[in-house]
Amino acid sequence: MKQWTNNIYQITFPAPHPHARAANSFLLYHERLLIDAGFAGTANYARLTAALAQLNLQVTDLQGVVVTHHHPDHVGLLEALPPEIPVYAAPGLAFYGTSAYQQAIDRLKLPVVVPPAVRRNVQQRLETRLVPALRKRTFYPLTALTQFGLHSRTLAGHSAQDTIITDEAGHWFTGDLLLAGIIFNSLLDIDPISQEVVPHLRTRYRQFLRQVETLFPSTATLYPGHGIPFTMEEATRIARQNQRFMARIAEQQAALPAKAPYETVVQATLHQLHVPAYFYVSALY
């Protein structure tokens, strides 16, 4: 556990497989709030309880958990936390724990140019985000966080619903919207309300990137879902790097014939990046 201020502690949960990154939860000590809940598993629950014990706290002392988005590395430990602990999240989070989510994956609509094998790859990736424990929780609106002196803003970009949390001291908890060392971080997702693929998610992510320098004050510190906190100087660099990469994708796609084969589009948009087919589809949206 790392202490960043007299109120903010970072608890890092190791990834369950070598191709994933360790996930962060941030404890707001005075408010007794946990921002994001890390990977599931008994070892990670033990890691959480041990971190709290260092501060003479128990899990039952938590006044709530705030979720930045629905991915398993951010909601995993909700299955182990006592049900009486409030969970604050954007509307529809429970959808990702229900059979309705699986049904939405099964009837997934993708461009006709996407080969069947790639379509199945996408479905498998989406299925990894099914967290049955979510349907057992009671969720509270993010507006209720004002009782703790916190404010929230929800937008789409990395996922269908990305929530940014800020306190009154200029600390911003941004989930996976901006991550050092990762580009093209807009992931194909299913909207919990319409239960269809989120339209134009990449466009929405690009809009967020363009707003970074005005959305956050110059003195802000950003606390990401993976890695360590960074300043606005680093946030601006990451946003611009993403923008350059996404502009390159758009230029390459625009140079192709309108009826170019799918594989041609893949090679043109993600040349030499060696990423899974799942991301190829994300690049088409």
Separation of alpha carbons 28 and 145, rounded Å: 12
Query: What pLDDT is recorded for position 274?
Result: 54
Mean pLDDT across the chain, nearest whole number?
91
Q: If pLDDT is split at 50, 70 and 90, which confidence band does 273 have? A: low
pLDDT at 255: 82
Say how far apart CA 246 and CA 253 lie, in whole Å: 11
Greater confidence (258 vs 188) lies with 188
| pLDDT cut 70: percent of the chain above it | 94
Mean pLDDT check: name the lowest of 17-21, 53-57, 121-125, 210-214. Answer: 17-21
The model carries a pTM of 0.92
Amino acid identity at 3: Q
- Residue 222's domain spans which residues? 2-247
**By mean pLDDT, which of 166-175, 213-222, 243-252 is the weakest?**
243-252
Residue 262 lies in a domain: no
CB neighbourhood size of 128 (10 A): 9
Residue 266: closest CA among 242, 274, 197 = 274
**Residue 270 counted as domain residue:** no
**CATH classification of the domain holding 76:** 3.60.15.10
Give the confidence band of 278 by pLDDT, cuts at 50, 70, 90.
Answer: low
pLDDT on residue 129: 95
User: Is residue 269 assigned to a domain?
Assistant: no
Q: What is the pLDDT of residues 49-103, one digit of tens each?
A: 999 999 999 999 999 999 999 999 999 999 999 999 999 999 999 999 999 999 9
- Rounded to an integer, what distance in angstroms lies between the CA atom of residue 194 and that of residue 87? 23
Q: What is the pLDDT of residue 280?
A: 61
Number of structural domains found in the chain? 1
- Dihedral through CA 224, CA 226, CA 232, CA 238, nearest 10? -130
Q: Which backbone phi and psi does 228 adopt, to 5 degrees? A: -105, 160
In a domain, residue 253? The reply is no
